[in-house]
Amino acid sequence: MSLTNVKDGSKGRIIFHIDFDYFYAQCEELRDPSLKGKPVVVCVYSARGGDSGAVSTSNYKAREYGVKSGIPIKLAKNKLKDVPDAKFLPVDHNYYSEMSDKAMKIARKYADKFELVGVDEAFIEVTERLENDFGRAKELAMAVKQELKNELGLTCSIGIAPNKLVAKIASDFQKPDGLTLVKPEEIKTFLTNLNVGKIVGVGKKTEEILNEMGARTIGELSNIDIYQLTKNFGKKIGTYLYNAARGIDDEPVVESESVTQISRITTLKKSTNAVEEMLGDLESLCKDVHKSVIERGFSFKSVSIMLILDDLSIKTKSRSLKSPSTSSEELFKVAKVLLEEAVAESQLLVRRLGVKVSELVSSKGQDTLFKYIE
């Protein structure tokens, strides 16, 4: 959305944001109904063994004990140490993907337009289906929820609004198994007392800056002029925030586009600053990335590495290639150079190591182009 072209897409659209409740943990409850009522914590265990790793998702019972996404597994276990029936399970992405496919197939049936967001969220536009009648939206959302519940046993929270921005905030308003409808004329009242962090794209850092500028709530954000916002956040994000504070958003609901980057990251068995000790991990990361790139029919023009240091700070380095490549050797060679440079610049030990390729080009398209040129 540009400064000179601020349109209010709020008029005339009806959009649902469907958000499956505590998705991974809910999937686990469905697979093993004996988990119902117990705290369930789905974990990403790292290569360090033991309880090294972080919590991916937890169900609401676990959240009552302060166990939420992102906290260390050890901390989660500590919080639940007096709860003998708490369950800690490793993530099972294949199973969640299967469940997601089934759920999204149902959601898609109701949509004029469908947009998948990650594995557990989707936007569906239903303007035509409802003939622009907001009055019928709740009934349709109930039908979606009912079918998901009957067919798969899954609960979700749905936000209904004239645009994606407000629909997303609305789905988060009442959880789990919630349904929140925000009509066009209710947007201002709905948003005004909500925390600025509820706006998509406003994370911890942005929220801190906004707080310093005097905006804790979305209503307060709407009092800040666009000049201040663009000065602090740049033109694009500043304009986005200015509009978001007013509930204005004209982003269309679109089928998800193809990937633009592919990456793999791992936690080293032991923190180190010796490049030789990381070469084994670097090589297998490169192989994994390369395999995925080739399987998806891409070549890559940019290679990056990411280091997460012992204080959990992040260091990245990237390099563009002269021309798109599909070479596994070239990927490893460039990644190794970047790693050597990054390690030389860092004072701390490296805890985690990642490899990323971007500026992806469809190799199939390239072939065609080459053939054409020939």
**Whether residue 121 lies in the annotated active site:** yes
Residue 324 — left, alpha, or beta (φ > 0 → left; ψ -120 to 50 → alpha)?
Answer: beta
Residue in this structure with the two tokens 């663009």, named with its chain if needed:
230
Nearest to 134 by CA among 253, 13, 8, 9: 13
For the bound state, the minimum distance from the C-beta of residue 92 to DNA, rounded and expressed in Å, comes to: 13
Residues near 233 by beta carbon (within 8 Å), at least 6 away in sequence: 206, 209, 241
Q: What are phi and psi of 87, to 5 degrees?
A: -115, 130
For the bound state, the minimum distance from the C-beta of residue 361 to DNA, rounded and expressed in Å, comes to: 13
Nearer to DNA, 136 or 287 (CB): 287
Read off the tokens for 88.
Answer: 């800690």
DSSP 258: P
Pairing type for strands 156-161 and 179-181 reads parallel
Nearer to DNA, 46 or 59 (CB): 46
Q: What is the CA radius of gyration of the chain?
A: 23
Give Cα separations from 30 to 91, 153, 251, 266 (angstroms): 14, 7, 35, 30
For the bound state, the minimum distance from the C-beta of residue 76 to DNA, rounded and expressed in Å, comes to: 9
Nearest to 105 by CA among 24, 18, 21, 29: 18
Nearer to DNA, 136 or 366 (CB): 366
Q: Which of 28, 115, 121, 125 is catalytic?
A: 121
For residues 353 and 282, give the distance between their C-alpha atoms in angstroms, rounded to a whole number: 7
Nearest to 123 by CA among 74, 164, 78, 86: 164
Nearer to DNA, 5 or 34 (CB): 5
For the bound state, the minimum distance from the C-beta of residue 132 to DNA, rounded and expressed in Å, comes to: 26
Residue in this structure with the two tokens 């180190």, named with its chain if needed:
272
Nearer to DNA, 187 or 342 (CB): 342
For the bound state, the minimum distance from the C-beta of residue 116 to DNA, rounded and expressed in Å, comes to: 10
For the bound state, the minimum distance from the C-beta of residue 263 to DNA, rounded and expressed in Å, comes to: 4
Nearer to DNA, 55 or 126 (CB): 55
Task: State which H helix or E strand residue 53 sits in.
Answer: strand 53-58
Read off the tokens for 81.
Answer: 């140490």
Within 10 angstroms of residue 85's Cβ, the number of other Cβ atoms is: 12
At 364 the three-state DSSP class reads: helix
Nearer to DNA, 83 or 130 (CB): 83
Contact between 253 and 114 (Cβ < 8 Å) = yes
Nearest to 243 by CA among 320, 171, 163: 163
Question: What residues line the site for DNA (CB under 7 A)?
Answer: 44, 46-48, 52-54, 56, 69-75, 78, 117-121, 168, 200-207, 233-238, 240, 257-267, 292, 302, 308, 312, 314-320, 351-352, 354
Nearest to 305 by CA among 260, 272, 352: 352
Nearer to DNA, 48 or 246 (CB): 48
For the bound state, the minimum distance from the C-beta of residue 4 to DNA, rounded and expressed in Å, comes to: 13
Q: Which of the residues are catalytic?
A: 121
